[in-house]
Structure formats: structure tokens, C-alpha cells
Structure 1
Amino acid sequence: MLPYDKASDRTTLEYYHGPAVVINERTACFPPNFINTSIQWDTGERTGINGLYLNATFAVENQTDFLGKELSKPVQVYCKLYNIWNDTKTSTNWPTALCNELAMVEVSSKSVTMNPLSGWSYGFRYVTLVNSGEVLNGHFESGIGSAIPPDLQKELDNLTYRTDGPWTLAQTANGTEVFNATMCFISQNLPHKFNVTMTGKAVASEPTFLTELSSLTVLRNDTGVLRQLGVGISPGNTTGRGTLNLEVHSGPDLWMELDGEVSIQSAYLELRVTLVEFSALGGWSLAGNIVFNDLTTTVIWATHPEHAAMFQKILHETDVILRLASIFEPTHEVTTINAQNFVVPQQWTGFIVAIAILIMHFILTALTLVLFAKRTQSSLLGNAWQAVSQLVSPETQDIIRAAGSEGIRDRQVEALARSAGRNREVYALASGVDNGRIELCVR
């Protein structure tokens, strides 16, 4: 997010230098150790939506130095699992549910793994990802319009577990996979400010989110938002993604001092509630469009289709972290450079023709003025008399003609005036006192 209200100010931005809030986001996932686990069919009495639900207690072991004591304690979740989805042959998405709980967990801001950018701890909070195994995939009864749960209750009572990287696989006694789960710790970032420089290229427009899940299928995940997040394009191609390159110089200007523990914990809880929220179903669907004719999945349980697509991309192809645009603090003096659209001629032919026409017009106008000044032969007196009379009549025609082209010329008038000693006199037109006529008077 940029500190500009108008989209045009954001899309034309090519240079930013000044203070900004920079987020160093990190996610660490570990295999949970299940203590108590049950998978049961809920008719909707507890949550309002029927389906298979996971009720489990688990913890991450041997990570106290990384996570701290508080986050190493056992946690309990109750969340909806996928129990019906399309054949995986027609969809590459995994039937993944995100389980979370709105619990008061003290987030350590010191004494554990430090964020090298701010000097504080990462402020981790956990979520649990659960992928349903094929054995949980029930079937849909079209006449009734509701899912029929798989008949596995006896097998689900005696699960065994094994770890595979960050995942814990739950299996039946005969080795059938029921689900696999991972516990992910996501860093929370309070708004510390840094001096930064961001450079890049202007973009034509900002990407817009899709409003319908079907549009994502048609576009095959090739949307503006997903490209900006690095899906379908190299994460390092900031120009193609429409993002700016970020360089952090100094800081931080801490949001507050570390001794304000109560305020810090309150801020972390507010971040948690705002970013993850809480669902009556115990979590959210991150599987995208793998369920048909299910209002629960598409409206109540589902995350935004592009969020789900981004998550599935990361889940399938874990790679380097994708850097997003920073959040800026707009109350400080900053230096920016924005792009402007100009029409630049690609060829000079038209420009040269236009300039030649303008030059020719100027030459002709100047030549007309010079010729008029040098070649005019009418008497100045005749011109003045013709201008003030504003009347052509039998009485004035002879006088005008004599003073005009048919009479004497300016040079002749000048010679006569000089010979008569009148060249130094000044004449004026005035109204006669006695008769009211216009007369020439010598001043």
C-alpha cells in the first residue's frame, strides 16, 4: 500500500525515497506431535454446518529456542475438514483447510529468534494446515443435496503418525493416509519505520481482484493480482510484476519501546484478529474450486479464489519468499519521481513540414510589411483627409482624388511644404468657431 489516494499517483510512481514501514514477513512450518485426535461427523449442532471435523490436541516439539515457551505449549483445534471434492485428476489443488483459533497467546518480542530488520523477535502466531486424504472423500447425493459421510469411524479411532519433513501424516492401521498436517508459525510485524529507496517502472493500471471463482478457471491463474504476487512469472522480475525494487538504508524508528509489554501484546492481538479473523467452522478453505454444488465452500468457508491460488502455488512449489510492496508512512517528507505520458514523434517528416510552413508564413508577412512601407505613394495628407471624412460626395471627390493616386505624391507634398517654409508647422483638424465646419488649422 502506498500513501496516495489516487490510483494515478500510485501507478506512475517510479522513485520513492524517504521513511516507510517495511515488513519482513517469515513463515516457518513444523510437523505437529498429536496428543489426542478424533475425526467426527458434525450434524451442524455446534457450528451450523454439517461435515467432518477434526478435534485434536498437538504441539511442536524441540523448537523452544526458536519459538519460545508460550508457542511450544499444546494447542487444541476444532475445524472443518474437506470430506467431498472433485476427482484430483481434474484439479491440481489439494483439499486443504486452514485451522485457527482466537486465543490469547502471549507473543514474545524478545529472547527468541530475532528479526534482523527490526531487532525484535518475529512475533510468531500459529495456524494449522490440514490436507484430507482420499479416504475421507465422501460422495454427493444429488436427490437430497447433502454429503454422505464416509463409513470409517472404526478405522479413524486408531490412527498412527509419522513425520515427513514439515508434515505429520495420520494413517489407519493398514497404512491408509487419513490426513497430513503441518503447524505454521507466521511472523507478525508492528509498524516500524525505516529509510528506504524504491525504484521501478510505472504501470498502466493496478491489478484488480476477481469477483467470481469461475473467472480464475477461465484465466488459468493468469490474473494481474497473481502476476504481481509472482505466480506465473519470475519473482525477481519486478517490472513484469509491476512492483518496485526496495532498498532499506537505516532504522528502525521503533513503533514503541520494548518495555511497553501490555501495549505490544494488545497490538499483536489486534493484528491477529484483523489478518486471520475467526470462523465458526474453525478455519477457512484454501482449496479453491475443487467442490461443486457446495454453497458452504464457495460462500461461507472459502477464502478469495486468488488467495487460494497463491497459497496452492506456494504449497506445490516452495521457493524464495515473494517480496511485496511496503506500507508507507505518509506524514514524513519524501522524494518521489512519477512518470508522465507524452506523445513523442517517431518520424520528423510532419514536424519539418509544419515548421517550414510557419517559417514561410513569417517571411511573407515580413516582406509584405517592408514592401508596403517602401512602395506606398499616396499623400499623407490625402490619407488623413480620407480617413476623417468618412464620406464620398461630389464636393469631396476631387479633393480626395487630388490627394490620392491621381494627385501629387508624398514626396511632392514634402518638397512643396519645404519650399513654402511649411515643413516645420503642425496642422490639426478642428471645428470652426463661426460656422462649425471642420478646418485645418496651423498650431
Structure 2
Amino acid sequence: MSQSFEHFASFRKSDSVSSSGSQSQFPPVRRFWDRTGKWALFILVGESLVLLGSLGFLLFLWKGADEAAADRDPGERWRAIVFAGWTTRAITIAAAFMRTAATAQDAFLTAMIAALFLESSGTKLRHLPALSVARAVSPTPISLIGLNLFDRRPSIGIIYWVLLLVTSLLWIGSQFTSSILLSDFADLSIAGPNTSAVIKTMTSYGEYVTYTNYFGASPPFFPRFAEWYDSSQSQEVHPNQPYVDTGPTLRAAVPWINSDERLGLRYYEGASRLWDARVTCFRPEFTNLTLVLERRPYTYTVTGDFVCHDQRPVVEPPDDKCSINCTFNAFTGALICGTNALSSTETPLPFLESEKKSKMIIKSNLIHASSPSVWPDDAKPSIRIGGGDGDWILKKEGPWMKSFDSNGRETLSFSSCIMDDLLYNSNVSMSGPPAPSEPVMTWLETPEEETRGSLDTLEIRRQLGVTPGSSTLEDRGILSLELAASLLTVEDVFNRPVEPYKYSPSIEAGLYSVNEGRPVVFDQVSSIDPNIWMVPHEFHTAIFLHILSTTNNPAKALQALSTILNHMQAFDRSTTWTAEQPASYIMSREVSIPASRDGLLAIVVLVAVQHVIMAVVVALFLSRTRATLLGNSWQSVAQIISPETLEVLLQADDLKDSEVRRSYLDPAAKGLVRRHGGRSQFVKREDPGLDP
């Protein structure tokens, strides 16, 4: 083709365009739905609703995930989707809807942009067929992005090309909607559904339980438990205070044998073993105190009388005098001895009706200070402690009454403690986040020798709440016990009042036996005789002595020991649990849910940009085109037939585009669709100026 087209300008109502004759005016402007086509209008509006609806569903899933991760209620519908395993499938389905909607919209936007090139900015002749047909078939935007569609700068065609580029990027991004959204997902542990079930939590009344020496046995594990605690009434060790008090404390066992279930428990309401874990210890005021030496075998017996209370309205014993008679050998460590102190159910101390037992905790340093091996044969068979004429003197220090020998070396320290020895069957409510693990007893990494002192008890002491500093229940890995007024009078599933659950004979051989003069000796050396006193397992010894050495608080040491023994008894009976009781609980469930917002934010941006581009393109199409009716194939073909294109069309029936460009087209030829000779057709413009 020898003819060279001049540059064509944008369409204006006052344009005068002609290549061979006079111009004909455009017919009246059609209604906008005729120009866009009802199907295109339906796609643009309807698919926007699909995009926004899908986006709302995604926001619902992400918000629910945030609520669940924060241990708040995400809603019943959200839980139904997640626990049915439909989360990722729902994302895939929503992404498919969004991808389909965006693709359909982008196709019609591409057709509108093609019309803008043809009618507004003009295009090169070689792109005319592609752009004109695009108005009818609505292709993907990427099919036109490679064309050099604007003629020369500055040109409004640059704006149209940018719109086409952004539409292409939106189309490409929409193909990866599912992958972008799923990039936010991770496996998280959240609260599962509330389950009601009948579970076994204890042994039926009257069933026989075999004997186990819990003091001499190793704790099989250190299970998490639930705790209620009133810190306002507690008292830490202070030199000027004659007592220490753990404060009102209730603890309950988590009634699951499996450790994973205990760790994953978030909420439980039902029957459990409950005990009053409050312990108060005070400095005994001795009226007489004597240490008697027996040489065969070498043993000590400490006897004396003391005032039974700490001058607080916590305990009101039958009388003011209590006595101690305790036999032990020379050792460095501590022991628990019984006293003849109160057995009361009418004191302000217990939360439940119980039998409060008094224990005397004695810290001994005799093996270093006054061992029988260094006593002369003519030494006194007994030593008076305290008083004006005593052999050893007594000094007050916080909750301890300490004795010192004539050389000023500390020998014995005494503290009298009140505690509860009973377990209770009770309905409880406990809640809290899951725990990562339960503590275990380990050896220190580089022990000098494998003795009791080389055991690492830090994690266990942290769980029991006796490490320095304040730790939350979550930090300790335990649950919060709900304290309700009904807890004190609740009836269990057997329709009988809550009853104390007596310790088994194994416990009687431990804590109860101290009331009979047989102490529990926590010794760091192996010189103790199990025929004379109770020999605790080295784990019990390490924990008890570590707490005393790090806190100097006998109440916390006794509270920790009681908790461990209560758990050993409760779970030792787990194989014989037969009493079925109704309960409701919530366990942790590991599910795949959104854990971040980056992918969701990217999709929100894509949807927002999609609608901005759609609004701009539709506005430009309606304002700057007149001759295009989208989706009409015959019109699209007819408008490219003109004197300027006829020669090419007559020769191109058996040629490739590249062959047409080489043989028949001038590379610089440009034009646009305009009204001419009574019809809209591709024409050249007489005004060679730039586009407005």
C-alpha cells in the first residue's frame, strides 16, 4: 500500500474529518446500557458484588482467626467452618469466585480500552483489526498489552496504555488469589468446641486401693493443675514478721491421665480432686526445749512445749500449749515432725470443712556443728536450748526460731506450720490457655557428682509458684480455678454432700505418721535409717530443700510437697477410676487458619484498585466514545472497512499479519474510527496536530 496516513486526533463533536468527501454527523447517542451491552453491565455490577462479598467472607475468616488466637469467641459459624476442616477449601472456593469475577470484568474493561484507542487517541493501522475485534469478543488484557497502541507523545493514548497495563497486572494477580491468601495460613492451636461427656475422674466409694509409698516413690510426672489464690492475705518471709502465709489457696487436679490432653485443656467444668493448699507457718515460742543424745545408735530426740498459735486470728486451738517429740540422726537438711496441735473445723483458715494438722519443720545443721562423732564421751546426754541457763541460745528470725551452740554456730531452726491433709471430691471450674509442656526433673548438665543436690528443680518450682519474682498462671503452665460460693456446698454426682477424701494408707505412712513421732527426713547424705524414720525419694528431697534454701519459706516448701503427693495419689488411682461423672470441657485443637494479614491486605488492595480502574475506564468509555457498541461482531468488522483499509482487506484473506505488514502497510500509517460518508469507519484526519 503506497498511501501514507497522517496522524489522527481525538474525537470531538466539532471535528471535521474527511479523506475524500464531506462529513456526516453521528446519529443520536445511544443509551449507556446499549453502548456497554446489558451483559457487560451485568458483569461489571454483578461481579463487583461477587468480589465484595468474597472479600467480606475473607475478612470474616481473618477476624475470627484473630479472635481465636486471642482466646476470644470467634463465633459459632466460624467454628463450624474451621472444625469441619473447611477453612482452606473455603478459601479456595472464595478465591475461585474472585478470580472468575476479576477475569470477567477485566475482559470487558479491555474491550472498552480498545474502543478508547480506536475512537479517542487513534492507533496504528496494523493494530486496527485486533482492537476492533477486541470490542466484540472482550479478550484478556494481556492479549493487547504487547501492542504499541499510542502513536506519539504527548498523547492521551499513553493514559489508555497505562490503564491497559494496570488491568493486565490485575488480571495476572487475580490468577494467584488462592496462593496469596493461603500464604497467610499456619497451623495454630486454638480452643476447640465445647464438649459435654461422661468421664471417669475418680474411684467409686468403697473400692479398695492398693498401698503405694508415695514418699519413697519417684513422682511419675509433675502434672499441671488449677489454682485459686488470694495474694492480699499472703505473707512472705520478713525478719520482723513472726509468720509466713501462702495466703488462701485452692488447688485442683486436672482429671486427665494423658499429658497431651492435660496440656491442651482450656476449660473444664466437672468433678475433680480439690484441696485447701493454704499453709501458714509461725515462729514457735518455746517454754522448754531439750535435745537428747542417744549413742546407740546415734540419734537425737528433740522435745519441748510451745505456744500453738502466731497471735493472729487464724487458728484457735483447744489450748495454748503444744508439744513436740521428734527423733532423728545427725544430718544436714530438714525434717517434718508432728505435734499434738489442733484438730479443728471451726477456724477462719479452712475454706472447706477439714482437719487442720500442725507440722513442725526443723532445719538441721548438726552434722557440721555438733556431730556425735566429735562429742566427748563425757558430754552431756541432753542439751537445754533457750532460757537463761540454757546450753544453746535461741534467736528469732522471721518465721524461724533458731538455736546456736556455744561456738555461735547455727544448729537447729524451728517453724510450726498449719496445713490441710485431705483431698476433696468436688465440682470445679477451671480455665486457661494451653501449656507447652509439663516440667521434668533433670540432672544439671555438669554436676560434680550425681547427688541429690545436683538435681535441677527450677522448672518444677516455677510450676509450683516458688521461684523468685512473680509469675502468672500462664507462665507457670497451670489453669485458673474458678472460686464460686457454690463450691463450698456443692453436691457431687452421687447426690451427697462434698466429703473429705481420706488419704490412702501410703499417705498415712507419710504425713499422718509424723503425728506419731516418726519424722520425714530430707537428708542430703545417705545416713538415714528407714526403720526409724520416713525416707523420701531423692526428687522430694531435692525439691523440698531447694525451696527452703532459695526462699527460706517453710510454708511454700510444705505446700509444694503436699501438691506433689496429692497428685501422686490422685493419678496412681487412675487405672481404677470407675466413677463416671458428667463434665464439659474445651480442648485445644491444632488447625490451619490465617496467622498473618499480608496476603489478605494484598487482595484488598487488588480489589480496591480493580474498582478504581473500572470506574475510570467506564467513565472514559461513556464520555469519549460514540461509535462503539460492545459485544457486536458485525459492527466491529464493518467499522474497519473504509477506503483506507479496503485494499489491505482484499489482499489479506490468505496472509499472516506479518506478511500484511511487510507488503501492504506503511509502518507510520495511523488513524481512528470516525463518522464519515454516512457511516462510522476507520479514517485519516486532516488536522495533524497533537491529541488533546
TM-score normalised over the length of structure 2: 0.37
Task: Name the aligned partner's letter for residue 305 of structure 1.
Answer: E
Task: Name the aligned partner's letter for residue 486 of structure 2.
Answer: G
Aligned to 1:23: 275
What is the aligned counterpart of 2:418 among 185, 188, 191?
185
Note if contact 2:402-2:410 (Cα within 8 Å) is conserved in structure 1.
yes
Task: Name the aligned partner's letter for residue 130 of structure 1.
Answer: I
Task: Name the aligned partner's letter for residue 179 of structure 1.
Answer: L
What is the CA distance between 1:308 and its match in structure 2? 3.1
Aligned to 2:33: none
Aligned partners of 1:270 and 1:242: how far apart in 2? 31
1:119-138 alignment, distance < 5 Å: 120=353, 123-133=355-365, 137=369
Matched, 1:69 2:317: yes
- CA shift digits 1:164-216 (9 cap, x unpaired): 33222334567654422111111345526354232221434x44556999376
Matched, 1:306 2:539: yes
Aligned partners of 1:271 and 1:252: how far apart in 2? 28
What is the aligned counterpart of 1:339 among 583, 588, 595?
588
Aligned to 1:51: 299
Note if contact 2:293-2:299 (Cα within 8 Å) is conserved in structure 1.
yes
- CA shift digits 1:51-102 (9 cap, x unpaired): 3332334333664853223363322312215x344xxxxxxxxx3222226x
Matched, 1:170 2:408: no
**Which runs of 5 or more residues in structure 1 are unaligned?**
86-94, 140-146, 257-262, 348-443
Equivalences, count:
310
Aligned partners of 2:512 and 2:544: how far apart in 1? 17
Aligned to 1:252: 487
Note if contact 1:195-1:251 (Cα within 8 Å) is conserved in structure 2.
no
Q: Determine helix, strand or coil for the equivalent of 1:191.
A: strand
- CA shift digits 1:366-391 (9 cap, x unpaired): xxxxxxxxxxxxxxxxxxxxxxxxxx
TM-score normalised over the length of structure 1: 0.54
- CA shift digits 1:225-269 (9 cap, x unpaired): 33422355766343443322222234125489xxxxxx9899599
1:167-246 alignment, distance < 5 Å: 167-172=400-405, 177-189=410-422, 191=424, 193-204=426-437, 206-208=438-440, 214=450, 217-222=453-458, 224-230=459-465, 232=467, 236-246=471-481
Note if contact 1:38-1:55 (Cα within 8 Å) is conserved in structure 2.
yes
What is the aligned counterpart of 2:522 among 286, 290, 294?
286
**Which runs of 5 or more residues in structure 2 are unaligned?**
1-252, 385-389, 492-497, 571-576, 597-692
Q: 1:337 to 1:52 in 2, by over 3 A?
A: same
Aligned to 1:429: none
What is the CA distance between 1:129 and its match in structure 2? 1.7
Q: Determine helix, strand or coil for the equivalent of 2:450.
A: helix
Q: Determine helix, strand or coil for the equivalent of 1:251.
A: helix
Note if contact 1:192-1:253 (Cα within 8 Å) is conserved in structure 2.
no
Q: Bigger relative contact order, structure 1 or 2, given CA contacts below 8 A and separation 6+?
A: 2
Note if contact 1:84-1:138 (Cα within 8 Å) is conserved in structure 2.
no
Q: 1:200 to 1:230 in 2, by over 3 A?
A: same
What is the CA distance between 1:283 and its match in structure 2? 0.8
Q: 1:253 to 1:269 in 2, by over 3 A?
A: same
Note if contact 2:370-2:411 (Cα within 8 Å) is conserved in structure 1.
no
Aligned partners of 2:463 and 2:521: how far apart in 1? 23
Aligned partners of 2:472 and 2:260: how far apart in 1? 22
Percent sequence identity is 16
Aligned partners of 1:60 and 1:124: how far apart in 2? 13
Aligned to 1:370: none
What is the CA distance between 1:219 and its match in structure 2? 4.9
Aligned partners of 2:355 and 2:254: how far apart in 1? 24
Note if contact 1:53-1:79 (Cα within 8 Å) is conserved in structure 2.
yes
Task: Name the aligned partner's letter for residue 126 of structure 1.
Answer: S
What is the CA distance between 1:28 and its match in structure 2? 1.6
What is the aligned counterpart of 2:334 among 76, 90, 96?
96
Aligned partners of 1:265 and 1:333: how far apart in 2? 20
1:102-117 alignment, distance < 5 Å: 107-110=343-346, 112-115=347-350, 117=351
Aligned partners of 1:70 and 1:7: how far apart in 2? 45
Note if contact 1:18-1:195 (Cα within 8 Å) is conserved in structure 2.
yes
Note if contact 1:161-1:169 (Cα within 8 Å) is conserved in structure 2.
yes
Aligned to 2:106: none
- Aligned-pair Cα RMSD in Å: 4.8
Higher helix residue share: 2
